[in-house]
């Protein structure tokens, strides 16, 4: 159950049991009053005080108070409290989908966009835990897997260094092929990437597994990081590709690099008009419950990847903490019993 408080309860109806706490307080006060009234019947009050012992006074209220607090805490545990806490991430696979279109040669991000993105990506990979597999997908007019998921950082670095610039920008293809890399047995249709018609299944082909959409952002075993400097010129719509990712619970973090407003960039005797499609990148991230980042310089890009590294190593997640409440309640019960034995020689 969601609410505006830091603590949520999965079974909030159980909170009604907390009305027992003030009733127990009233019962305790009633017992004290009754005990006092009984004591006044004795003719010799000094004898009564002697029977009560030297520990009588404020100490006799401490064990019952601890017991009452313990009961309240245990009743809260029965309501199954949950809170957003920081936990180690369960990411097992990260797919780097990187733009290798011709505009990545532009030098507005020094030394140029391609080199800056390569260096930032390699630094990012170096910071990831060794348990995380990394795959690399490059896209321009088409998309291709240049490194399947691997634990070898050297293989990933080599794949990033092998980028070859091409014409076109197919951001949607990069997302779809990244999904196929994460789910190789899911039978994701890649005909929209290759431009070829999907062939009907043959007699020896495995049947395509049934697919049931899940909650966006709920798949915690893999994520996609897509970097691009332009807008889609070919291939599937990146927003539709993002919906495919969202249906599979995969987050697509998008990184925009280069010119926001759009300008003509020239190099090696020819020029081209490029513009960063921030709206599409923001939409892709929003649909998949991820985030969009803009990097206008090599330093910005490095900081973006540093932030992504931290975000993917640890994650904030709403987690049930009933066990913590139950443990705390048990400690309070034990403390109340220990103090009662130490002060009065018995469990009060």
pLDDT 10s per residue in the chain (348 long)? 445 457 788 888 888 888 888 888 888 788 877 776 665 555 555 555 555 555 456 777 788 888 889 888 988 888 888 887 665 555 689 999 999 998 888 887 888 889 999 999 999 999 888 888 999 999 999 999 999 999 999 999 999 999 989 888 999 999 999 999 999 888 787 876 655 444 455 555 556 667 789 999 989 889 999 999 878 888 899 999 999 999 999 999 999 997 776 566 666 666 666 778 889 999 999 999 999 999 888 888 989 988 887 777 655 667 788 888 889 988 988 888 888 777 776 665
Burial of 50 (0-12, 13-18, 19+ CB in 10 A): exposed
The structure tokens listed for 26 are 């009233």
Place of tokens 């309860």: 9
| Measured distance CA(170)–CA(193) in Å, rounded | 9
| Measured distance CA(228)–CA(117) in Å, rounded | 9
Residue 187 phi/psi, 5° resolution?
A: 70, 35
Q: What does the H/E/C string look like for 21-59?
A: HHHHHHHHHHHHHHHHHHHCCCCCHHHHHHHHCCCCCHH
Which helix or strand (DSSP H or E) is residue 312 part of? Answer: helix 298-313
The answer to whether 47 and 40 have CB atoms below 8 angstroms apart is no
């Amino acid at each position: 159950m969601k609410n505006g408080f830091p603590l949520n309860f999965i079974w909030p109806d159980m909170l009604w049991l907390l009305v027992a706490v003030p009733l127990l307080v009233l019962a305790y006060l009633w017992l004290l009053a009754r005990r006092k009234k009984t004591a006044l019947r004795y003719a010799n009050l000094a004898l009564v005080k002697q029977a009560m012992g030297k520990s009588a006074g404020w100490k006799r209220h401490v064990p019952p108070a601890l017991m009452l607090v313990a009961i309240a805490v245990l009743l809260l545990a029965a309501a199954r409290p949950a809170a957003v806490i920081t936990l180690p991430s369960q990411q097992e696979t990260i797919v780097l989908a990187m733009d290798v279109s011709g505009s990545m040669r532009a030098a507005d991000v020094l030394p140029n966009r391609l080199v800056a993105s390569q260096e930032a990506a390699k630094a990012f990979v170096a910071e990831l835990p060794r348990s995380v597999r990394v795959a690399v997908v490059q896209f321009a007019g088409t998309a291709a897997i240049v490194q399947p998921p691997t634990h070898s950082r050297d293989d990933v670095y080599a794949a990033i260094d092998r980028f070859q610039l091409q014409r076109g920008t197919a951001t949607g293809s990069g997302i779809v092929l990244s999904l196929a890399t994460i789910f190789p047995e899911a039978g994701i249709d890649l005909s929209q990437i290759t431009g070829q018609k999907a062939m009907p299944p043959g007699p020896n082909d495995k049947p395509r597994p049934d697919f049931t959409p899940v909650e966006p952002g709920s798949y915690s075993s893999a994520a996609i990081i897509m970097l691009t400097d332009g807008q889609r010129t070919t291939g599937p719509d990146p927003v539709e590709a993002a919906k495919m990712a969202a249906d599979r619970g995969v987050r697509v973090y998008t990184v925009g690099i280069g010119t926001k407003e759009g300008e003509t960039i020239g190099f090696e005797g020819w020029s081209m008009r490029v513009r960063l499609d921030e709206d599409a990148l923001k939409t892709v991230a929003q649909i998949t419950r991820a985030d969009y980042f803009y990097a206008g310089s090599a330093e910005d890009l490095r900081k973006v990847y540093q932030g992504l590294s931290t975000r993917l190593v640890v994650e904030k997640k709403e987690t049930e903490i009933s066990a913590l409440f139950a443990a705390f309640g048990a400690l309070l019960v034990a403390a109340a019993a220990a103090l009662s034995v130490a002060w009065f020689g018995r469990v009060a």
